[in-house]
Structure 1
Amino acid sequence: MSQPSDSAPAPVSRTQAFLYWLKLGCVSFGGPAGQIAIMHQDLVERRRWLSERRFLHALNYCMLLPGPEAQQLATYIGWLMHRSWGGIVAGALFVLPSFVLLVLLSWVYLRFHDLPVVAGVFYGIKPAVTAIVLFAAYRIGSRALKNVWLWLLAAAAFLAIFLLHWPFPAIVLAAALIGSVGGHFKPAVFAMKAGHAAGRHGAGPALIDDDTPTPEHARFRWQRLLGLSAVGLLLWIGPLAWLWLDQGREGVLLQMGWFFSKAALLTFGGAYAVLPYVFQGAVEHFQWLSAAQMMDGLALGETTPGPLIMIVTFVGFLGGWNGADQAFAAGLAAAGVATYFTFLPSFLFILAGGPLVESTHGNLKFTAPLTGITAAVVGVILNLALFFAYHVLWPQGWDGAFDFRAALLALAALLALIRFKAGIIPVIAACGAVGILLGAVGGW
């Protein structure tokens, strides 16, 4: 039952918070915008755990960080309400249901992908995935490319990765440098508005309101910052050192730990921004899975709750499975390693940086380097979409036949996303159903 509009809600117990964060982890579909909208509606408008201004203050900080902003926002709110325990529980429960579900789906995918109905589903959803990635480039580009200079930066990033085969980190660094220099000489070109619009003001006083004093645990202290930084370094180096001693320098789990640690620091602009880097490393360099399997994993990530970057769980499971004679335990261990090192920095950014943010209230803004990175990301995502399209439309390579049915499915999916504003899950479901039907009628 909602609280009266003229009184603040009662304090929230740890049990109440735990149950809410668990529920959120199970229903957090719709990507970061949808997940943030769910939290805003629940926590600001309905439950009034915190005010609109405090919500936006936390959100703007999370959007400046690498990593999944919705998961970091949940971690931040959990930390603000219930100290480090609350932050860890909120952030962990945001991804745990998705982790369990993706591990199970990965096993089902590997064991039963040869069944006609399963093969039909994945034949249908591959064109949908291509359309979804194209739609992501369109959606991010429509928000980020506000002038001709940013369009040129996006085009340069596309050419750098498509023709010159630059690695993704080099493109990010170059774009950040261009944004930094450009922001100094052309500040209007690289000025960016704050991120997602969260919604209207709450209906009454909040538990953590605009004028609520900063909780004692959220006050900045150098000793606490240094202590948390040391703990974070230990939580990162310790497992890597153990994996090195256990498996050696060339061990798959050690390679995954190091690779996904780097990936976690490159996710500016959302999960689609880091997918090209994950693709380069997991498919082309380490060959933990194939390009077709990467597309299937992206489809599974789109249809499960949690951040889209949870695709790393699928990548890790397949890498462990393929490297250990199809052993479930190896796949589970690799999925755990990939997920742990991907999300560890997100927790540290919030728990260590939160007090710095709480020390001054006011909306944080995107910097010029981040504007440059976001523009470059559009070009990189477009390259990824074209790569996927090649594998879908010419499954046997350029010398093979063009798959007209896959092309029509991709066009229909893209039209549904852009013109009719269809949701991603319905589009994937419809394309999967069409794939089953095509298999039943005449094969693929």
Structure 2
Amino acid sequence: MNESLNRDKKPGYTMWQMILYMLRLGALGFGGPVALVGYMHRDLVESRQWVSEADYKEGLALSQLAPGPLAAQLAIYLGYVHYRVLGATLVGIAFVIPSFLIVIALGWAYVRFGGLPWMQAVFYGVGAAVIGIIVMSAKKLTEKSIGKDKLLWAIYAVLAAVTITTESEIAWLFIAAGVLVWVWRAPPKWLQRGSANALAVTQLPFLSSLYATADLPLLGQIAAFFAKAGAFVFGSGLAIVPFLYGGVVTEHQWLTEKQFVDAVAVAMITPGPVVITVGFIGYLVAGMPGATVAALATFLPCYLFTIIPAPYFKKYGKVPGVVAFVDGITAAAIGAIAGSVIVIAKRTIVDLPTAVIAICTIVLLWKFKKLQEPVVVAAAVVVGLIIYPLR
């Protein structure tokens, strides 16, 4: 009864307030998926208290379980919490549209002026600052979600180590972590096999063959490829990069190696989800129609994979076995996020100046709690433009 009353209780914010928040986060939220999910926790759970800790953890667990970009899925789920499908839809659009418009503008400039040579200097500074932002976000998530639970710490450490070693996120380990905590804390009387998951797995070869055999015009090929990317790539937005490289550069040869590297750089220096690089790639391949089709095809699967199971997460989220399962997946997700910091840092911290920028970012955000990340990013842009030509 109490749980039902809590679910039906009128939220302390309007749907439009959440939409405006996501618009702002999409326009000013730097640091990639790790930082973005950290900002949502800081702002919506701790500061404004619009979303409960339980709802946030459920959303993070569902986002980590389902394929697609982590931050976008979490935003969609948080929109769903109190305003259901309409809220999820509008919040998802609000979160993605600012960064989409930014990469379209950069795509136009890239095509119009023959490349972006200044981007290397900008990425030099911003990439290092982003590492500092991610470190602080991972620290806050770890302190808040893991606590002193030894089992959760063990899961966290294993997933961090696996992520660092393999430089990828292994989806079944998240599920295994959830099952482990479930069995340990709330041993079930029986274990039900996931028939829905088995059905989904059996469909993968069919969908893959459908994609491979289709002889489509260019926009159709773009839609098919990016829908496959959005549907079958797990983990953070960064996990999609190797998949995109294989299709865009190697298989279809839509972009050159340099153009693809520039596309990834664009994703890293723009706010919002990293996976929005698909808009830039689509623009280079087929202009504005290509960018639109690529973005829609990538984000539609993650939208569906979030709103379809969301009611079941809401309905059964307080059951002890489900709580334990979610705690295990959350610990695994945050461990993978912490490991990804090392993976990204190895590619970004390339010399002493970038190390200094990253350390200074950590110190500043640690010491000045109210310091806004966009201010740090803007300073890093200036530093990069000054230092990079002197290297």
When residues 255 and 124 of structure 1 are mapped into structure 2, their CA distance, relative to the original with a 3 A threshold, is same
Amino acid at match of 1:408: V
1:397-428 residue CA offsets vs partner (Å, 9 max, x unmatched):
xxxxxx21111111111222233333322221
Per-residue CA deviations over 1:163-202 (Å, capped at 9, x if unaligned) read 3x3852xx332242244234323569xxxxxxxxxxxxxx
Flag the 1:412–1:296 CA change in 2: closer, same or farther, 3 A: farther
Distance in 2, Cα, partners of 1:377 & 1:89: 26
Q: 1:20 to 1:148 in 2, by over 3 A?
A: closer
Partner residue, 2:195 = none
The residue type equivalent to 2:223 in the other structure is L
Distance, in Å, in 2 between the alignment partners of 1:41 and 1:162 is 29
Q: Is the 8 A contact 2:122 2:269 kept in 1?
A: no
Q: Confirm whether residue 177 of structure 1 aligns to residue 163 of structure 2.
A: no
Q: Structure 1 residue 35: deviation in Å?
A: 4.9
Q: Alignment partner of 1:367: what SS?
A: helix
Give the partner amino acid of 1:347. Answer: I
Q: Cα distance, 1:140 vs. partner?
A: 2.5
1:253 and 1:124, CA in 2 relative to 1: closer, same or farther beyond 3 A? same
The amino acid that maps onto 1:262 is F
Summarize the Cα distance change of 1:342–1:392 in structure 2 as closer, same or farther, 3 Å threshold: same
Aligned to 1:411: 359
Contact persistence 1:144–1:375 (CA under 8 A)? yes
- Are 1:145 and 2:107 an aligned pair? no
**CA distance in 2: counterparts of 1:173 and 1:329, whole angstroms:** 36
Of 323, 338, 350, which aligns to 2:298?
Answer: 338
Question: Normalization by structure 1: what TM-score?
Answer: 0.59
8 Å Cα contact 1:154/1:375 also seen in 2 = yes
Checking the alignment, whether the CA contact within 8 Å between 1:78 and 1:86 is kept in structure 2 is yes
Q: 2 CA distance for matches of 1:112 and 1:143?
A: 46
Offset from partner CA, 1:87-114 (integer Å, 9 cap, x none):
5445434543443344334544676696
Aligned residue for 1:215? none
Distance in 2, Cα, partners of 1:290 & 1:119: 13
Match of 1:294 among 244, 258, 264: 264
Please report how far the alpha carbon of residue 125 of structure 1 lies from its aligned counterpart in structure 2 after TM superposition: 0.3
Instruction: Report % sequence identity.
Output: 17
- Aligned position for 2:240: 278
The CA RMSD over aligned residues, in Å, is 4.5
Q: Give the Cα separation in 2 of the matches to 1:133 and 1:415.
A: 13
Deviation per residue, 1:381-412 (Å, 9 max, x gap): 34432232222233xxxxxxxx2111111111
Counterpart of 1:435 in structure 2: which amino acid? G
Inter-CA distance 109–135: structure 2 relative to 1 (3 Å threshold): farther
Q: Write out per-residue CA displacement over residues 265-320 of structure 1, whole angstroms, 9 at most, x where no aligned residue.
A: x45xxxxxx2453244335776587567535413413xxxxxx4x32222x12433
Residue of structure 2 in register with 1:431 after alignment: 380
The 8 Å contact of residues 113 and 119 in structure 1, kept in 2 or not, is answered as no
Q: Name the aligned partner's letter for residue 436 of structure 1.
A: L
Partner amino acid, structure 2, of 1:257: A
Structure 2 counterparts to residues 27-42 of structure 1, below 5 A: 27-28=24-25, 31-32=36-37, 34-35=39-40
Match of 2:390 in 1: 443
- Which residue in the other structure is 2:228 paired with? 258
Q: Flag structure 2 segments of 5+ consecutive residues without an equivalent.
A: 1-9, 30-35, 64-69, 188-202, 250-254
Whole-angstrom CA distance in 2 between matches of 1:339 and 1:428: 26
Please give the alpha-carbon distance, in whole angstroms, between the structure 2 residues aligned to 1:85 and 1:242: 34
Which consecutive residues of structure 1, in runs of 5 or more, have no partner in the other structure? 1-8, 46-51, 189-232, 268-273, 302-307, 395-402
Task: Give the alignment's TM-score, normalised by structure 2.
Answer: 0.66
Aligned length, in residue pairs: 334
Counterpart position of 1:155? 157
The answer (yes or no) to whether the contact 1:75–1:91 under 8 Å persists in 2 is no
8 Å contact 1:134–1:385 — kept in the other structure?
yes
Distance in 2 of aligned mates of 1:142 and 1:110: 45
Check conservation: 2:136, 2:366, Cα contact below 8 A: yes
8 Å contact 1:133–1:384 — kept in the other structure?
A: no
Aligned-partner residue type, residue 298 of structure 2: A
Go from structure 1 to structure 2 and tell me whether the alpha carbon gap of 1:294 and 1:365 turns closer, same or farther (over 3 Å shift): farther
Kept in 2: contact 1:25–1:97 (CA 8 A): no
**In 2, Cα distance between equivalents of 1:362 and 1:186:** 14
Cα gap change, 1:62 to 1:156, in 2 (>3 Å): closer
- CA deviation string 1:133-187 (max 9, x = no partner): 3333323222333334333323322333443x3852xx33224224423432356
Query: Which protein is bigger by CA-based radius of gyration?
Result: 1
Q: Structure 1 residues 95 and 328, CA, compared in 2 at 3 Å: closer, same or farther?
A: closer
Aligned partners of 2:317, 2:335: CA distance in 1, in Å? 35
Q: Residues of 1 paired with 2:38 and 2:348: CA distance?
A: 28
Alignment pair present for 1:313 and 2:276? yes
1:260 offset after TM fit, Å?
0.9
Change (3 A) 1:424 1:111: farther
Query: Could you tell me how far apart the structure 1 residues matched to 2:178 and 2:317 are?
Result: 26
Q: Does the alignment pair 1:96 with 2:97?
A: yes
Choose between structure 1 and 2: higher helix proportion.
Answer: 2
Structure 1 residues 345, 35: closer, same or farther in 2, change over 3 A?
same
